Amino acid sequence: MVRAGTSFGKAGQDHAPVDILEKTSDTLRYMAEAGCTGFDCSEKTIGIVNNLDRNLSSAVDDLKELRNLIGDCQRCKLCKERTNIVFGTGDPDAKLVFVGEGPGHDEDQKGEPFVGKAGQLLTKIIEAMNLTRERVYICNIIKCRPPGNRNPAPDEIKACFPFLERQLDAIRPDFICALGTFAAQTLLDSDEPISKMRGRLYDYRGMKVMPTYHPAYLLRNPEKKRDVWEDMKKLISLMNT
Ligand code: URA
């Protein structure tokens, strides 16, 4: 399903022409899928147009509802040492969602994903794709920081994963980029190493998943940046077809 863009028809917002064209084309495709066959003034067409904003806001509402449901989560032991729950950030109507592993120290402090060193590298990757953090959505497999940045434990992933599932259901992106072993293996229920999975396209409940190396791994192994760039180029070209 193609959803209409987030801000089509809203006045007072400053968009680059390419953004406006992209959102207009999304909206037209969305209208066609909703049954609009032309530009007439029939009640059906007017109904579709009038409902656009309602449909647009549903991903936002679903995410807000989900955040409320998580509340001051005590569902696993990570609640004891966390400072903030790191829910996710970006465009609720994004076509591309990046899923990482879990918050580190900086994210825990700020309550926002990927804001530390690895996050700065992720931001550069996103910008090299000609996108911005605001146009994609960024979240993690688990929403609370494991103490000392240890790997998430299976019971922690099990407690948190239903929230990621609902988050992805609310956004329904066309593509998910799974960052690193935990994201790829958890989303795809696989135990294949990330080195085998990266650069290939998988299905997660109708959404296409491209696993690649985690930015923190790239900080330790800069020679792998080339592989990630190859994966991202593939992703860009798939997104543009
Ligand atoms: N690493 C992750 O996997 N997620 C973050 O939010 C930050 C670092």
* 216 close to ligand 1 (CB < 6 Angstrom): yes
Architecture of domain 85-239: 3-Layer(aba) Sandwich (3.40)
CA of 180 to the centre of ligand 1 (A): 10
* 113 close to ligand 1 (CB < 6 Angstrom): yes
Count of other CB atoms within 10 angstroms of residue 83:
14
Long-range contacts of 27-30 (CB under 8 A, 24+ apart): 27/52, 29/2, 30/2, 30/3, 30/4, 30/55
**Tens digit of pLDDT for each residue in 65-108?**
999 999 999 999 999 999 999 999 999 999 999 999 999 999 99
CA of 166 to the centre of ligand 1 (A): 19
Token duo for residue 88: 């996710």
CA of 14 to the centre of ligand 1 (A): 30
Where do the domains of the chain lie? 17-62, 85-239
Give kind and range of the element (H or E) at residue 211.
Answer: strand 207-212
**Tens digit of pLDDT for each residue in 116-174?**
999 999 999 999 999 999 999 999 999 999 999 999 999 999 999 999 999 999 999 99
Q: Ligand 1 test: best mutation among 101, 126, 144, 213, most atoms within 8 Å of CB?
A: 101
* 213 close to ligand 1 (CB < 6 Angstrom): no
CA of 113 to the centre of ligand 1 (A): 6
**Tens digit of pLDDT for each residue in 31-56?**
776 676 776 777 667 666 666 655 55
The DSSP result for 99-131, as a single string, is EES---HHHHHHT-SS-SHHHHHHHHHHHHTT-
* Secondary structure tally for the chain: helices H, strands E: 9, 6
